[in-house]
């Protein structure tokens, strides 16, 4: 049986995974992972928390979906709803969304071409 132990420590979380029947041979296997959650750098802190959540779901066998599924659960890092971004941050976000929109339009064009050719979409 696999068990997961979580420990709160001063700088974050320690996750210990224990398999008491590793490879079906009855031997024990342990793995410890440390997730630093008190970094002064917000991006590092949030990425560590994000990684913790993904790893925990993976360990528990929780299916979050994959790139081929119509719906997936993502743990995204973004702005708070009251955050006031600066001009540079807004310009980067606009650029990102322009690229996303460009990719969607190309995909749309491909699907329209296939539909017009009678190819299965």
Q: What is the pLDDT along the chain (121 residues), one digit of tens a residue?
A: 889 999 999 999 999 999 888 777 778 889 999 999 999 999 999 999 999 999 999 988 899 999 899 999 999 999 999 999 999 999 999 999 999 999 999 999 999 999 988 766 5
Q: Give the pTM.
A: 0.74
User: Can you give the pLDDT at residue 113?
Assistant: 92
Element (H, E) at 17: strand 12-22
Residue 19 parent element (H or E): strand 12-22
pLDDT for the residue 120: 62
Half-sphere exposure in the Cβ direction for 60 (13 Å, CA) = 13
Rounded to 5°, the CA angle 103-107-112 comes to 145
The tokens for 97 are 């969304």
């Amino acid at each position: 049986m696999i068990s997961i132990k979580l420990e709160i420590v001063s700088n974050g979380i320690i996750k210990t995974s224990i398999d008491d029947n590793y490879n079906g041979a009855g031997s024990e296997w342990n793995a410890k992972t440390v997730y630093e959650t008190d970094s002064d750098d917000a991006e590092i802190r949030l990425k560590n928390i994000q990684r913790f959540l993904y790893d925990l779901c993976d360990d528990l066998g929780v299916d979050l979906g994959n790139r081929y599924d119509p719906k997936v659960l993502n743990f995204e890092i973004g702005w708070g709803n009251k955050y006031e971004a600066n001009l540079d941050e807004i310009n980067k976000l606009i650029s990102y969304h322009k690229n996303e929109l460009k990719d969607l339009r190309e995909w749309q064009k491909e699907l329209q071409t296939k539909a017009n050719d009678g190819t299965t979409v």
